[in-house]
Amino acid sequence: MYGLTADDQRIRDTAHEFADSLIPHEVEAELSGGQLPKELTAEFHARAIELGLYATNIPTSAGGVGCTALQQVLVQEQVGRVTNGLAWVMHTPPQWWVDVATEYQRERWLLPGVRGEKHEAYAITEEFAGSDVSGLAATAHRDGDEYVVNGVKWHVTSFNLADYVFVQAVLDNGPFAGEHVLLVVDLPWPGVEVVRTPHYSHHIADEHPIVSFTDVRVPASHLVGHEGQGMTFTQDWFRFERLMVAARCVGAGQRLVDEMTAFARDRIVDGRPLAEYQLVAGMLADSATELFAARAMLYEVARSIDAGAGRKTLHGQASMAKLYCSEMAGRVADRAVQVFGGRGYMRENVAERFFRELRVERIWEGTSEVQRAIIAAQMVKRGPAALA
């Protein structure tokens, strides 16, 4: 099905089997706030690398696995089948950096990141700048061979586990004053402090603290690309991540469809399997149908990337995939809770966990409203045929 090559199937099956080995640990992670014993997490991390499921997005020239976009999607789909972020060990380091990293940056962060020795975090969002990244208030002041960064960043995912963080700020002096820079800051670093670590709906090992940067001195060699280019990299990262969000949502949808179908087949109510009740059958059928549509769209966009489709088209289509797949997964999770009945409200039940966990997929990497705005703007500018 889906015209996958033997190589595509091989990597998908490897990822599927690995994801299956993580599933038995979900409930323990859920009940311990997302934490598993350190040795176990280290074992999963090592296994992901050994199986060739780590850095699938990085070209072989930079030490990565060098997968096609479709293969990356196939792996991330399997990541999405597992709750509590346990499959995040199939990590994708910043591939947009490969072409622009200086030799120093490559040796210090990029290559160790690809080898799984260093981990990154992104500090872009602020209290008053989320969807509208152009509204950032954090500043970077050029002072000789350094930048001095001031600002407070919100929702910095994985900060507690990261070795370095990308910080986006607005230059307040020099020829590019008013434009954005992206800087790399090692962790820990003087002036970088956690303000507080809020609790979120999901329970995963990666925290999302609010982080303050106070007179943080960053060597100029830590600038990614050039002054004024900050937004370009963020856009590249968004385009990639949106497709990967879509992939993980398809994986989640598949797991939910599998689990609710098995339950509806085996659960007997008033002498008959639940699946024979037409109102329940409708929920199963709608879920499988939407999942099929989502996956077909996802693979089509990935194949367009592999075929070298234009950046603008891909920007719009990545938004379409992110929008549709995340909303599909949300609807499927809601139905799955309903099919499971009271069991579906228990934290030990996969539908309950996904019901909470999938909600953020409509928010991060651009909300559903932002995706719709991107799609509609392209329809108006370039004509609907450019996208679909």
Ligand X SMILES: Cc1cc2nc3c(=O)[nH]c(=O)nc-3n(C[C@H](O)[C@H](O)[C@H](O)COP(=O)(O)OP(=O)(O)OC[C@H]3O[C@@H](n4cnc5c(N)ncnc54)[C@H](O)[C@@H]3O)c2cc1C
CA distance 322 to 298: 9
The residues in 109-128 that bind ligand X, with binding defined as CB under 6 A, are 122-125
- Provide the mask over 175-204, with x wherever binding to ligand X is found by CB under 6 A and - wherever it is not: -------------------------x----
Q: Which residue's CB is nearer to ligand X, number 116 or number 130?
A: 130
The residues in 329-368 that bind ligand X, with binding defined as CB under 6 A, are 360, 363-364, 366-367
Distances (CA, A) of 218 to 110, 275, 332: 18, 60, 46
Nearest distance, CB of residue 235 and ligand X, angstroms: 13
The site that binds ligand X (CB under 6 A) totals a number of residues, namely 19
226: region left, alpha or beta (phi > 0 left; psi from -120 to 50 alpha) = beta
Q: Which one of 19, 82, 89, 156 is in contact with ligand X (CB under 6 A)?
A: 156
CB 221, CB 300: distance < 8 Å: no
Nearest distance, CB of residue 178 and ligand X, angstroms: 20
Nearest distance, CB of residue 154 and ligand X, angstroms: 7
Quote the radius of gyration of the chain (alpha carbons, Å): 21
Q: What one-character-per-residue DSSP string does 271-301 give?
A: TEEGGGSHHHHHHHHHHHHHHHHHHHHHHHH
Nearest distance, CB of residue 360 and ligand X, angstroms: 5
Nearest distance, CB of residue 309 and ligand X, angstroms: 25
84 scored as a contact of ligand X (CB under 6 A): no
| Helix axis angle, 6-22 to 69-79, nearest 10° | 20
Q: What one-character-per-residue DSSP string does 135-150 give?
A: G---EEEEETTEEEEE
* Region binding ligand X by CB under 6 A among candidate stretches 34-42, 99-107, 152-160, 262-270: 152-160
Burial of 372 (0-12, 13-18, 19+ CB in 10 A): middle
221 scored as a contact of ligand X (CB under 6 A): no
* Region binding ligand X by CB under 6 A among candidate stretches 28-36, 47-55, 151-159, 342-350: 151-159
CB 179, CB 170: distance < 8 Å: yes
Nearest distance, CB of residue 92 and ligand X, angstroms: 14
CB 105, CB 224: distance < 8 Å: yes
Q: Which residue's CB is nearer to ligand X, number 199 or number 311?
A: 199
Nearest distance, CB of residue 265 and ligand X, angstroms: 35
Q: Which residue's CB is nearer to ligand X, number 29 or number 156?
A: 156
CB 191, CB 213: distance < 8 Å: yes
> Residue 13: how many CB atoms within 10 A of its CB?
12
Which residues contribute to the site for ligand X (CB under 6 A)? 122-125, 130-131, 155-157, 200, 208, 360, 363-364, 366-367, 369-370, 373
